[in-house]
C-alpha cells in the first residue's frame, strides 16, 4: 500500500505568543505580521488509506492555494481548481504528491509548507531584481536548510547586516589593520582622485602569522625561510627555477639584511598589477596592486590565498572621452603619483629598518624589499614610465635596451641594456 505524507492545517490565525516553536518545521521561516503568525501552520501525518488520503490532500491543497492567492493578490499565479473536474483535480493532486514524495524520499526536511513556499517566492523575486546567478538560489536554500537543521540553531537569534557582520568579525579577529584607507591624490591638473590603499606591514603580518599558510609544504625546497640561507647540496637547488636559485637573490639578501643586529628574516615580495574591467565598456575599470612573498613555492604562489592587496589605482581617464588631449607624459605621471601613495607604507618599513615579529616560534627582524614585478607589456611599461613602443616617434621601442626600430630587424641583435644611471639621467 502506498504511503503518502500529508500536511494538515492546525490553526488559521493565532497569536505569536501562542505558537509552539517546537512544532514548527522551520523556525527561521516562521513569518509574522502585526503580532499574528502566518495563516496556516502544518503538521505531517502518515495515511495508509488511499481514498482518505486523496480526499484530505484535495481539501488541503484547495485551502493552501486559496490562502496563497489572497496573500499575493494574484489569482493567475496559482492553480484554480474551480475550472477542473473533481476527477481531474484528484488525478493532478496525486501526480503532484507523487513528485514531492519522489524528491523527498531520502530527506524529510524538504517538506513544503506555506512559510517555506512564501520565503522561496520572495527570495526568487529578490534575486531577479538584482539579476544574480540562478545557481545562487539553490545555494542559498541549501545554506538555510543546513543552518536551520543544526542543533545549535536558535529561532530567537537575528542575522546582522553586512556592515555589522564585518565589524564583528573585524573586532573578534583584531583585524582593524587590514582595513583599507581612502587617500585623496592630486593629479597634474589639480584634480583629485580617491585611491584605496592597504598597510603593507599588516598584510605581511597576516601572511607570516597564518598557520594554514606557513607550512613546510608551502615553502620553497632547499631554502630556510627564517634566515634566507640556500642549501647548495639540496637536489632542487642544482637547477634554475626557484627564486632563491636566481642570480639576484643572494645580492638582494646581502644588501637588505646586513644592517641590523640579531636574527634577520629576509622577505622579498613579488608585486603584480594589471588593469581590470568590471563592466562591458571599461568605464568601471581599475588597476589592483597585489603581492605575495618569495619564500613560498610555485604551487603556493598560484593560489590566491597567498596574495594580499596593496592598493587600487582608479580609472584616471574616466569622463575624458576618446578626444582626450592629455600628453602621455602627464598620464604616466598621474599613475606614478598614485603608485607613490600606494607604496608609502613600504617606504616606512624600510626607513624603520624592518619590524619585529614572532614567526614560527622565533623572534626575528623582518626585512622587506620588492624583489621583482610581474605583469603584461603595457603594465610593465607603466611601471618604468616607458612610452608605448607602438607609438610613432619612440626611439627605443623596448623598455630594457637601447635598440631602435632598425635594430629589431636583426635576428641576433647586440643589445645595450638600460641601467639605473640612464634612468636617473633621463629624469634630469
**What pLDDT score does 98 carry?**
52
Determine the distance from the C-alpha atom of residue 215 to the mean position of all C-alpha atoms in its chain, rounded to a whole number.
23
Residue labelled with grid coordinates 599613475: 335
CB 309 within 8 A of CB 411: no
CB 342 within 8 A of CB 289: yes
Query: 44, 60, 52, 43: which is closest to 5 by C-alpha?
Result: 44
In which residue ranges of the chain is pLDDT below 70?
Answer: 1-112, 259-260, 281-282, 319-324, 389-393, 428
Side-chain-side CA neighbours of 345 within 13 Å: the count stands at 19
Show the cell assigned to 241. 627555477
| Count of CB atoms situated within 10 Å of the CB of 386 | 19
Element (H, E) at 334: helix 328-342
**What pLDDT score does 87 carry?**
53
**What pLDDT score does 21 carry?**
41
For 137, 173, 216, 364, the CA distances from 360, given in Å and listed in that order, are 43, 19, 11, 10
**What pLDDT score does 310 carry?**
95
Element (H, E) at 201: helix 200-208
Strand, coil or helix: 268: strand
Residues 251 and 235: their CA atoms lie apart, in Å, by 22
Show the cell assigned to 410. 636583426
State the pTM of this model.
0.62
Determine the distance from the C-alpha atom of residue 358 to the mean position of all C-alpha atoms in its chain, rounded to a whole number.
29
**What pLDDT score does 419 carry?**
84
Show the cell assigned to 281. 565598456
**What pLDDT score does 94 carry?**
53
pLDDT digits (tens, 9 = 90+) for 64-91: 445 544 554 444 443 444 445 555 545 5
DSSP 81-146: GGGS-HHHHHHHHHHHHHHHHHHTSS-GGG---HHHHHHHHHHHHHHHHHT--THHHHHHHHHHHH
Amino acid at each position: 500500500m502506498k504511503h503518502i505524507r500529508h500536511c494538515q492545517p492546525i490553526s488559521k490565525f493565532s497569536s505569536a505568543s501562542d505558537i509552539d516553536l517546537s512544532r514548527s518545521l522551520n523556525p527561521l521561516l516562521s513569518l509574522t505580521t502585526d503580532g499574528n503568525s502566518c495563516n496556516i501552520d502544518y503538521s505531517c501525518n502518515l495515511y495508509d488509506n488511499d481514498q482518505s488520503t486523496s480526499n484530505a490532500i484535495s481539501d488541503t491543497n484547495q485551502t493552501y492555494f486559496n490562502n496563497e492567492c489572497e496573500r499575493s493578490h494574484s489569482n493567475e499565479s496559482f492553480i484554480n481548481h474551480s475550472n477542473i473536474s473533481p476527477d481531474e483535480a484528484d488525478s493532478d493532486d496525486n501526480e503532484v504528491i507523487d513528485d514531492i514524495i519522489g524528491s523527498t524520499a531520502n530527506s524529510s526536511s524538504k517538506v513544503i509548507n506555506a512559510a517555506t513556499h512564501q520565503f522561496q517566492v520572495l527570495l526568487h523575486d529578490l534575486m531577479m531584481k538584482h539579476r544574480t546567478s540562478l545557481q545562487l538560489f539553490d545555494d542559498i536554500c541549501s545554506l538555510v536548510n543546513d543552518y536551520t537543521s543544526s542543533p545549535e540553531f536558535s529561532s530567537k537569534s537575528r542575522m546582522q547586516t553586512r556592515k555589522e557582520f564585518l565589524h564583528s568579525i573585524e573586532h573578534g579577529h583584531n583585524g582593524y589593520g587590514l582595513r583599507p584607507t581612502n587617500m585623496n591624490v592630486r593629479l597634474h591638473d589639480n584634480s583629485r582622485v580617491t585611491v584605496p590603499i592597504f598597510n603593507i606591514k599588516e598584510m605581511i603580518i597576516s601572511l607570516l602569522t597564518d598557520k594554514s599558510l606557513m607550512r613546510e609544504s608551502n615553502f620553497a625546497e632547499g631554502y630556510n625561510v627564517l634566515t634566507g640561507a640556500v642549501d647548495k647540496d639540496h637536489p632542487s637547488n642544482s637547477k634554475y627555477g626557484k627564486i632563491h636559485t636566481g642570480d639576484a637573490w643572494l645580492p638582494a639578501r646581502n644588501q637588505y639584511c646586513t644592517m641590523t643586529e640579531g636574527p634577520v628574516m629576509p622577505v622579498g615580495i613579488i608585486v603584480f598589477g594589471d588593469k581590470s574591467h568590471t563592466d562591458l565598456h571599461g568605464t568601471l575599470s581599475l588597476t589592483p596592486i597585489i603581492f605575495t612573498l618569495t619564500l613560498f613555492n610555485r604551487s603556493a604562489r598560484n593560489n590566491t590565498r597567498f596574495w594580499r592587496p596593496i592598493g587600487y589605482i582608479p580609472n584616471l581617464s574616466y569622463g575624458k572621452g576618446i578626444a582626450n588631449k592629455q600628453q602621455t607624459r602627464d598620464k604616466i605621471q598621474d599613475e606614478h603619483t598614485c603608485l607613490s601613495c600606494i607604496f608609502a607604507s613600504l617606504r616606512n618599513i624600510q626607513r624603520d629598518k624592518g619590524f619585529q615579529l614572532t614567526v614560527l616560534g622565533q623572534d626575528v627582524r623582518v626585512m622587506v624589499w620588492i624583489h621583482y614585478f610581474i605583469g603584461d607589456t603595457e603594465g610593465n611599461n607603466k611601471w618604468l614610465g616607458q612610452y608605448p613602443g607602438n607609438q610613432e616617434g619612440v626611439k627605443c621601442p623596448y623598455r630594457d635596451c637601447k635598440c631602435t626600430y632598425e635594430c629589431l630587424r636583426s635576428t641576433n641583435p647586440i643589445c645595450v641594456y638600460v641601467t639605473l644611471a640612464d634612468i636617473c639621467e633621463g629624469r634630469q
